[in-house]
Structure 1
Amino acid sequence: MKANQLKRKVFNDAIDLLTGDAPEDGVQMVPVDKIEPFHEHPFKLYQGERLDDMVESVKEHGILTPVIIRKTASGYEMLAGHNRQNAARIAGIKEIPAIVKDNLTDEEAWVYVVETNVIQRSFNDLSVTERIAVLATRYDKVCGTKKREEIMEELHRLSGTGGHHVHQQAKSRELIGKEYGMTGRNIARYVRCNQLIPAFKEMLDDGSLTMVAGVEVSFLFPEEQTLLHRVMEKSCIKLKKDTARRLRAAAGTITEESIQIILGLDKPMSEIKKPVSVKLPAKVYHRYFANVATKDVQGILEEALDLYFERRGA
């Protein structure tokens, strides 16, 4: 289908949905269990009170906004609506309304997956790994600008948020940084961390791995990262920036023995430096960390100190 024809179809489908006059082939009732999650879906499902509220709403009102899916050889794959599907399943609903997309490339599918989550939730509310997915997709995985804008216009109409947010976005990290209020350098860090294995991405989320150290580790081959994570987990080691840099320098030659040497695990305990506690004045702590989870404080302090000493040329 030509680009202008697809654009007209997307626009017409969106108008039909908003006016309640969607044709039968525009919105279909699809069995919940026939829809598989999007492969490598990077966003976490709602839990706790947020999930409970959604389940209660679904029980009372049903699924008001259709999910967006695409056909696969075995059924369907979810693009937008993982949480609605999960809530419907819990509520005992067997079928949900869905917009079925045909002939989408993986790059186009990724636009639906990522952008619907950004529309529904503030970027700042996303976890570190979810931000990585968004920024990496914006920077690397999205299709051509014109096609992306067509999809974005459709999604904003379906969500009722209007199209004012849609504009041309080059893949330049500086331009993406302006959109999210981040420096190009930070954008580069997030995008680079998309090369981490899932275990290290989880460590970014729980604060046990800093973004700076994560960037260095991302240059290791996946099998080397897996070996490193296994050694760290077994030895309860927290990875520092300088140690991560030494690991990166050894990329391609990493073995369990070399990891133990770089981490200092081959030294007597008396030679291994112990953590040092530093106290912050209460007013300083509450000024900067009043609304920050305790597990995130250390990572923020380490990044701030890294930036401080980098600026001083240390």
Structure 2
Amino acid sequence: MKANANKRKIFDAVDLLTEDTSVQTTEVKAENGIEQIAIDSIKAFHNHPFHLYEGERLNDMVESIREHGILNPVIVLKTDDGYEMLSGHNRANAAKIAGLSEVPAIIKVGLSKYEAYVYVIETNLMQRSFAELLPSEKAAVMAAHYDKVCCQGKRNDIIRELQILSGIEPEETSCHNGKKLNSLDVIASEYGFSSRNAARYLRLNYLIQPFKNLLDENKIALLAAVDVSYMTKGEQQMLWNIVDRQGLKVKPVYAEKLRKASGDLTEEKMAEILETLQVKHSDGNAGVSFKLPKSICSKYFDGMDSKQMAAVVEQALTAWFEGKKAAVV
């Protein structure tokens, strides 16, 4: 009985965060509180900030699951219509690819949004080092810590539980010299950044997803992404529409100019600014930009990138000039 009690404490250390622990635990239906649940009943964590494994890393996980099964249970939060994944997005994805329909799970009930997010952030950091994360993932981790982490007992208890589950000796958690420092300085020191660079990474969380993806794909510079993050969501979406349609690269000088004009931008004004900057910073070999009415773009170029649009224009002009020449002859 005592052994079971110890295991119960390990799996539900977060339950001790409230006086009424019955509110946060599920009825135990399997040994150690682990249940088999359908993969299809689990939704990804809302606004999950981490990319799923791809390529060789995913293939290795799939083969491991086929050979050994899932060795570590996922952690899910009970919802009205099923479950939300807290820890185990990659395991569940790989298990489904491997042909499994169920996964072993530790089920949580009644967690606050903050407590749930701590599970998502900390379990990813236990599986991968901070240096391995993509820029938008680093930004999400740092933001979570910046908001609420300095010497917060609940976060420390959750981290302790996750360390025990992973077979890691729990660390004592406290702020530097037992004193609460400036939050930004604490975060900067924790991740090896200057305070200025830490602030830049925190700004990345204000980017809309398409620009986060560009950053992770190394298609936009960090400083340019930071400037874009100061634009409103609507302005960012307008910029993305232009970038996606024209195949345009958002250079730091473009982003800086747009940031200064933020608050009074329309898509037309944004296009004018970008066109002016493209001409000004052209190396002499760049193409010539010209405007077309939206009705023409929608009618003839809908869904095309800049190269496809240029090809259509060239074909149309070739046909027009050949027709004009034939008419003269």
**Interval of TM-score (by shorter of Structure 1 and Structure 2):** 0.7 to 0.9
Deviations 1:27-70 (A, max 9, x none): 11111111111111111111111111111111121111111000
- Does the CA contact (< 8 Å) of 1:216 and 1:248 recur in 2? yes
Q: Cα offset for 1:118?
A: 0.6
Q: Cα offset for 1:242?
A: 3.2
Instruction: Tell me, yes or no, if structure 1 residue 173 matches structure 2 residue 184.
Output: yes
Alignment of 1:156-305 (within 5 A): 156-164=163-171, 166-168=173-175, 172-263=183-274, 265-266=275-276, 271-274=280-283
Moved over 2 A (4+): 8-15, 22-25, 140-144, 164-171, 232-243, 266-269
Alignment of 1:63-142 (within 5 A): 63-140=70-147
Alignment length (residue pairs): 262
Q: Cα offset for 1:166?
A: 3.9
Aligned mates of 1:24, 1:64 — CA distance in 2: 15
Q: Cα offset for 1:275?
A: 8.3
Instruction: Tell me, yes or no, if structure 1 residue 61 matches structure 2 residue 68.
Output: yes
- Structure 1 gap ranges (5+): 1-7, 16-21, 277-314
Q: Cα offset for 1:165?
A: 6.8
Q: Which residue of structure 2 lines up, in the alignment, with residue 13 of structure 1? A: 11
Say if 1:142 and 1:116 are closer, same or farther in 2 by CA, change over 3 A. same
Deviations 1:113-132 (A, max 9, x none): 01100111011111111111
Aligned mates of 2:87, 2:154 — CA distance in 1: 18
SS where residue 257 of structure 1 aligns? helix
Q: Cα offset for 1:266?
A: 4.9
Q: Cα offset for 1:234?
A: 2.6
Higher mean Cα deviation, 234-243 or 64-73?
Answer: 234-243
Q: Larger radius of gyration, structure 1 or 2?
A: 2
Aligned Cα root-mean-square deviation (Å): 2.7
Q: Cα offset for 1:168?
A: 4.1
Q: Cα offset for 1:231?
A: 1.4
Q: Cα offset for 1:77?
A: 0.4
- Does the CA contact (< 8 Å) of 1:133 and 1:194 recur in 2? yes
Letter in 2 for 1:195: Y
- Does the CA contact (< 8 Å) of 1:29 and 1:97 recur in 2? yes
Letter in 2 for 1:56: E
- Does the CA contact (< 8 Å) of 2:7 and 2:32 recur in 1? no
Instruction: Tell me, yes or no, if structure 1 residue 150 matches structure 2 residue 157.
Output: yes
SS where residue 182 of structure 1 aligns? coil
Deviations 1:95-148 (A, max 9, x none): 211110111111111100011001110111111111111111111266981100
SS where residue 111 of structure 2 aligns? coil
Q: Which residue of structure 2 lines up, in the alignment, with residue 279 of structure 1? A: none
- Does the CA contact (< 8 Å) of 1:54 and 1:87 recur in 2? yes
Aligned mates of 2:50, 2:278 — CA distance in 1: 42
Percent sequence identity over aligned pairs: 46
Q: Which residue of structure 1 lines up, in the alignment, with residue 17 of structure 2? A: none
Say if 1:39 and 1:238 are closer, same or farther in 2 by CA, change over 3 A. same
Letter in 1 for 2:86: L
Say if 1:96 and 1:275 are closer, same or farther in 2 by CA, change over 3 A. farther
Q: Cα offset for 1:233?
A: 2.7
Deviations 1:214-256 (A, max 9, x none): 1111111111101011112333332233332221122221111
Letter in 2 for 1:273: S
Say if 1:141 and 1:194 are closer, same or farther in 2 by CA, change over 3 A. farther
Say if 1:268 and 1:213 are closer, same or farther in 2 by CA, change over 3 A. closer
Aligned mates of 2:215, 2:141 — CA distance in 1: 15
Letter in 1 for 2:133: L
Aligned mates of 1:235, 1:96 — CA distance in 2: 44
